[in-house]
Structure 1
Amino acid sequence: MSMNYRLTLAHINDTHSHFDASLVRLKVQLGQRQFSLASHSGGYPRIAAQVQRLRAEAELNNQEMLFLHGGDSFHGTLFYSHFKGQANARVLDYLRPDAMVIGNHDIDDGNATLANFIAKVSFPVMAANMDLAREDLHKQPRLTPLANLLRFDNAAGIGQPLIKPFYDKQLAIIGITLDQMKRVARPDPDTEFLPAFDTVANTIKQLQQQGIRHIIVLSHLGYDMDKCMADAVDGISLIVGGHTHTLMGDFAEFGLPCVPYGEFINGVPVLQAGKHAEALGIADIAFDADGKVTQLNGSSCLMLDRHFMLSGDTPATEQDYRDATELLHQHSGILWDEQDEQLKELIDTEFHPALRSMEQQVIAMVPRTLAHTRLPSQRLPHGSEIAPLVSQSMYMAAREQLPNLDFALHNAGGVRQSLEQGEVTFADIMGRLLPFELPLVCYEIQGVHLKQVLESAINEATNNSVIGTGAGSFPYTHRLRYFYDGTQALGHRLVKLELLRDNGDWCEVIEQQSYIGVSTSYTTSGKEGYDALLQAQWQRSLTDITLPGAFIRMLSHDDIPLEPAIPMVNYISHRNS
């Protein structure tokens, strides 16, 4: 009789400190009419309730259970901005994940904040390709002494796996993170990140030599890279991922961008569960004795309010609400708002009081929702509606100190979400929209290098002829208008670049002429394709101005319209060559 190797898997990723449920908007078709359905989904108390239910069911059925976090717990709300990871440690330790991989935003504030977090949690935190061989022995806190950090083992030449009993076998989990970490985050200089695929492959070889065939890779590489890894590295049973906020499941009928759950690549399922703790991935998985997945049933699951709002061209009736409720009940990816009351009370009593004044401080009214997308799309051909306004705020704040300023330039990843219609609070800006308190930096740069910056950042964002670092590098500007044609040869894709003068005229940027710009300290350090900014003739940090602070100042001016101006982004799709 063959052994039944079944696993109940729950997984989250890119939760970004969203302890509370998040507002989501779905489209629902009821007969001939379409409605917008507004609800809240997820949050840690609802996730806790579902994970507890799954653990109880697995135990009742004598079935193994894992709960995994695909990285990026930090940043995103005031829970992180105010408590700097200590609230994350408290809440995540309550959830008791079996393992979490380190994401790029988990080390965005350097090693010390991450080390303090790891020291406070009882579960394994993983990054098999994090090399600490050269860690400074004199600094405090250090990562090397932390027993629950599973990292690169220099003596063995492999990543440290987490090995757990699995029926009459053993199951290994390898946590792997971005090998481009220094280009997208801010780890300490003494910390290296080794090639991800090679680290996974070498670790698997040693595990197989020990007779271990059931191998899960817990990844913070992103959806596309996970698929490449599944194709390129032999011996992986399953990949549970994060980084790209990819919602998996059948949610197209609700108007949500999604891909099929558990896509098989080279026989290896790839899983991810969206973002911001809005969804919980739940899968029932069967393996054979050699670690191959033979069956996978599951979905990312939204956890919605039982009482939601419907809006449309005509008012919704009671029957419409009943029909919408029935439609949601029938969907395999919809759960409801059961929550762990103890965790809810912990969040409400230990963390919310310190944030309440910021959550109640209204800065402005937004007349309509301003959408944020990192890349231009068919719906938004000029890209984000909110990112150019953020660039405008940087320009306005910096010009007070530098009257001859010419332009502002910001990366898409520095803006974290859309700005919803209605009241905007201090917490909305500092905690959610612009959670990175980055200083503004002015610089003088020649036109030739400015062109290189823009093309390089776009190429990186779209993986056009280069191996990019993600769509977050896509550039948004103020008073700088560019025309990019991705079908042209590398180095010739920025076909036009113009600067807006104070007299209202657009003038072509001249390669040998110098211009003065403002960006954040992140982009001026050459991250994510912005290397050419290091060619600046000078850089100067501005005093008392941060990115969110500049935007809050602009919102405080009643006479500044919160509408995107003339499009600065003119984009022809790339060719992926």
Structure 2
Amino acid sequence: MNKKLLAVAIALGVVGCNGSDSDTQDRPIKTELKLSIAHINDTHSSFDEVKSSFVNDYLLNGQPVYTSFGGHPRLLEAANVYREQAETENQSMLFLHGGDAWQGSAYFKINKGKMNADILSQMGLDAMAMGNHEFDLDNQTLAEFLNAVNFPVLGANMDVSADADLSGANNLLPYTLFAFDGFEKEQVTLETMPYDRPIVAVVGMVLEDMPSISPETGDVQFMGEIETAQKVVNELQEHGIDKIVLLTHLGLSRDVRIAENVDGIDVIVGGHSHTLMGDFTNLGMGDNAEYAQIVTTPNGGETCIVQAGEKAQAIGHANVHFDENGHITSCEGGNTLLSSDTFYDNNLRDDDSLLTSSDQQQVESFISQEKNIEITAEDEQLRSHIDEVYKPELEEAYGENISYLPEDIVHERRPNDGGTDEHGSGVAPIVAEGWLNWANSDAVIDVLPYSHVDIALVGAGGVRNTLEFGDLREGHISLELLPFSNYMSVLQVKGSVIKDLLNSTITTSLDDSEHMGKFPYTAGLRYVFNEDVIHTSGSFEVLDVLDTEGNWVALDESATYTITTTNYNANGNDEWTALYEAQSASADRYDIVIKENVADIYPVVRVEKNGDSLKAIYSDNEPDCDDSTISCNTDALSVIDYIAQEHPVLEKLENPTVTLNLLDR
């Protein structure tokens, strides 16, 4: 089989076996294996360290310690430590990436996938899962990335045979095999694998509903996760391969679902839900699901699940022991936050904020005794490479100052997570207010057939980061916070559609292991939602709309409201299904770009669904974002204008519109 063609032939079991089922000759040796797995996921172009803080009641009188975590030079340094340890002990090792290397920082906005290919190829990765954000640009750019990396990118439930760009791409495989001789390993295929060494299969699994999350999937077809996983496992087992790692970008809840429904998977290394698995209450970060979670499979076997957070802040490490029949007898380890050795007592992070030498020693002593945080140096060569090749252009791209933040404004997708209260993100409401303000500005409302826009709705996943203390420049919004270059949509829907949308996305998000990008934030509408059955259901206590006189009144399900959101969410992507259903027959909607410095509208007549792909159908042409006279990123431009005009000093908004009351966990 042509290794360049990622098709479902293997998953469907049409590849012949090496001999009959009774033939035990040409099969890998059955032997015990101790495997070290270092893993990362959802690194999102976080090549530099990420500002953060931690707190412990018994450290510095319970005051927060401000520092920075991660970045790719620290990830590489930590991975090299695991490699050196494995080599010293002559232990087999894999270094895996759970997908979503793309997006997330200004580096990506400027360099597309080229910097990602460059930096990731210096990390020593053995394989990476295909993430949804790898489809954010176009398949030609994705193919260029695939052709440039020095490791396989995996997705067994993808068929790219009909896609002109990806069908010939290098390094795109359903799975890959590794033959081990202690620490030494060789990447092999079914045809070339030796029979005197243990073989480990690493199988990729991507979102079966990828087109509903990433519209730019071209002619790629996606198959069911559970069905494909079982078929691929069966095929591998028929070839005598009984040590199987599933490398996924599905989210923890789907990883658990696969483990509960598929036999033969030993370890799942995941991504997508950004879950920093393990108990981090010692750092004030919560208990986020057990690391190396063991799930019982249908036939009574066991699957071990791991995941390592987000934004290159932590690295996971699991030690897995297989018996001679390929069953795991132990799977243990944990995630480690990779900390800088510089600590501050406040978020100013200037010389006056540096800890005193005695406090510094106390913090270092504390960290040395904790298993889930470690002071880690940066790999010097990779740090220098980033600074010399990529940093200068980055600094130039940020543009003018538009505001000043006296303190961080935190973004968290779901309220109550990440140390937030029941109102959650402080950033998403600012985005919502910016969109609503812009949609009601004379420049926009004058080109629309509406007199007023009532509500702005923001999907939490479209807002990418916390806004940090200090000067706020244009690029902090357009390159980091809202990097997807979506254009704004204004449409009319019934109140019942809005309620259905909110209810479905909030209810789904009650499951702690769900992907929280769908969670809705608002402007012009406020709600209080109370969880009634843990992880399962809840109800609205308050659901109000702000009328044109500034009064809060109950949402009228029979009334028509004018709302604004991005074209991505307006189409119903990321499980905003209610908006798709409301527009499937006909739409009262206009998408808005800036053409030659003037708002320009594109009427949408309906939204079509083809499989999981959702597409707006326009009455005439759709916006041409390749036209140099057109600016399509009105999602970011609107917020830049709003902040520059209304908030010379930007602080968290006083009156939260979102309240989510969760039951105790």
* Fold agreement, TM-score > 0.5: yes
Code of the residue aligned with 1:176 in structure 2: it is M
Of 271, 283, 288, the match for 1:242: 271
Distance 1:226 1:234 in 2: 13
Code of the residue aligned with 2:505 in structure 1: it is A
Code of the residue aligned with 1:280 in structure 2: it is I
Distance 1:570 1:307 in 2: 36
SS at match of 1:370: coil
Of 249, 252, 256, the match for 2:285: 256
Gaps of 5+ in 1: 151-159
Of 533, 549, 554, the match for 2:637: 549
| 1:302 equivalenced with 2:337 (yes/no) | yes
Matches within 5 A, 1:155-194: 160-167=174-181, 168-194=197-223
The aligned residue for residue 34 of structure 1 is 62
Distance 1:55 1:521, change over 3 A: same
How far off its partner does 1:320 sit?
2.5
Contact 2:344-2:354 at 8 Å conserved across structures: no
Of 373, 380, 384, the match for 2:425: 384
Distance 2:459 2:396 in 1: 30
Code of the residue aligned with 1:98 in structure 2: it is D
The aligned residue for residue 518 of structure 1 is 564
The aligned residue for residue 94 of structure 1 is 122
How far off its partner does 1:224 sit?
2.0
| 1:370 equivalenced with 2:431 (yes/no) | no
Code of the residue aligned with 1:305 in structure 2: it is S
How far off its partner does 1:251 sit?
2.5
Q: How many residues align?
A: 556
Distance 1:533 1:469, change over 3 A: farther
Distance 1:115 1:397 in 2: 37
Of 379, 398, 416, the match for 2:439: 398
SS at match of 2:592: strand
| 1:146 equivalenced with 2:169 (yes/no) | yes
Contact 1:281-1:300 at 8 Å conserved across structures: yes
Distance 1:310 1:569, change over 3 A: closer
The aligned residue for residue 42 of structure 2 is 14
Contact 1:184-1:469 at 8 Å conserved across structures: no
Distance 1:395 1:34, change over 3 A: same
The aligned residue for residue 155 of structure 1 is none
Distance 1:558 1:69 in 2: 42
Distance 1:98 1:491 in 2: 41
What does the per-residue CA deviation read over 1:521-550, in whole Å, with 9 as the maximum and x for residues that have no partner?
110111123223232542211122521222
SS at match of 1:25: strand
Code of the residue aligned with 1:460 in structure 2: it is T
The aligned residue for residue 73 of structure 1 is 101
SS at match of 1:273: coil
Distance 2:574 2:652 in 1: 28
The aligned residue for residue 391 of structure 2 is 352
The aligned residue for residue 157 of structure 1 is none
What does the per-residue CA deviation read over 1:238-265, in whole Å, with 9 as the maximum and x for residues that have no partner?
1111111111244321112333321222
Of 576, 588, 609, the match for 1:530: 576
Distance 1:52 1:575 in 2: 40
| 1:478 equivalenced with 2:523 (yes/no) | yes
Distance 1:218 1:125 in 2: 10
Distance 1:31 1:117, change over 3 A: closer
Distance 1:289 1:491, change over 3 A: closer
Distance 1:332 1:496, change over 3 A: closer
Distance 1:170 1:416 in 2: 39
Distance 1:559 1:542 in 2: 24
Distance 1:503 1:146 in 2: 58
Distance 1:531 1:352, change over 3 A: same
How far off its partner does 1:551 sit?
1.5
Code of the residue aligned with 1:190 in structure 2: it is D
SS at match of 1:66: strand
Worse overlay, 500-509 or 371-380:
371-380
What does the per-residue CA deviation read over 1:121-170, in whole Å, with 9 as the maximum and x for residues that have no partner?
121001111122443x4xxxx111123111xxxxxxxxx32111034221
Contact 1:398-1:542 at 8 Å conserved across structures: no
SS at match of 1:310: coil
Distance 1:27 1:372 in 2: 18
Contact 1:487-1:575 at 8 Å conserved across structures: no
Matches within 5 A, 1:187-206: 187-206=216-235
How far off its partner does 1:496 sit?
5.2
Distance 2:42 2:415 in 1: 22
Distance 2:392 2:402 in 1: 20
Distance 1:440 1:37 in 2: 39
Matches within 5 A, 1:318-329: 318-329=357-368
RMSD: 2.8
Code of the residue aligned with 1:472 in structure 2: it is G
SS at match of 2:122: helix
The aligned residue for residue 233 of structure 1 is 262
Distance 1:75 1:284, change over 3 A: same
Code of the residue aligned with 1:549 in structure 2: it is L
Distance 1:409 1:215, change over 3 A: same
Distance 1:59 1:552, change over 3 A: same
Of 338, 352, 371, the match for 1:332: 371
Code of the residue aligned with 1:251 in structure 2: it is F
Distance 1:278 1:426 in 2: 25
Distance 2:166 2:312 in 1: 27
Distance 1:316 1:39, change over 3 A: closer
What does the per-residue CA deviation read over 1:458-517, in whole Å, with 9 as the maximum and x for residues that have no partner?
2333359xxx972211111111223445549x9994565432123212233333332211
Contact 2:531-2:537 at 8 Å conserved across structures: no
Distance 1:343 1:361, change over 3 A: farther
SS at match of 1:94: coil
Distance 1:69 1:491 in 2: 33
How far off its partner does 1:221 sit?
1.1
Code of the residue aligned with 1:524 in structure 2: it is A
How far off its partner does 1:330 sit?
1.9
Taking every aligned residue pair, what percent have the same amino acid on both sides? 32
Of 560, 565, 568, the match for 2:657: 568
| 1:265 equivalenced with 2:354 (yes/no) | no
Distance 1:329 1:350, change over 3 A: same
What does the per-residue CA deviation read over 1:409-448, in whole Å, with 9 as the maximum and x for residues that have no partner?
1111111222233332334323332222211111122222
Distance 2:647 2:106 in 1: 28
How far off its partner does 1:114 sit?
1.8
Q: TM-score, normalised by structure 2?
A: 0.78
Q: TM-score, normalised by structure 1?
A: 0.89
Distance 1:485 1:53 in 2: 46
Contact 1:487-1:493 at 8 Å conserved across structures: yes
Code of the residue aligned with 2:294 in structure 1: it is F
Contact 1:28-1:324 at 8 Å conserved across structures: no
Matches within 5 A, 1:404-419: 404-419=452-467
Contact 1:460-1:470 at 8 Å conserved across structures: no
Distance 1:233 1:309, change over 3 A: same
Distance 1:302 1:482, change over 3 A: closer
Distance 1:384 1:70, change over 3 A: same
Distance 2:660 2:318 in 1: 39
The aligned residue for residue 278 of structure 1 is 313
Gaps of 5+ in 2: 1-29, 182-196, 297-301, 348-352, 446-450, 595-632
Distance 1:483 1:262 in 2: 35
| 1:435 equivalenced with 2:463 (yes/no) | no
How far off its partner does 1:574 sit?
8.5
SS at match of 1:528: coil
Code of the residue aligned with 1:429 in structure 2: it is I
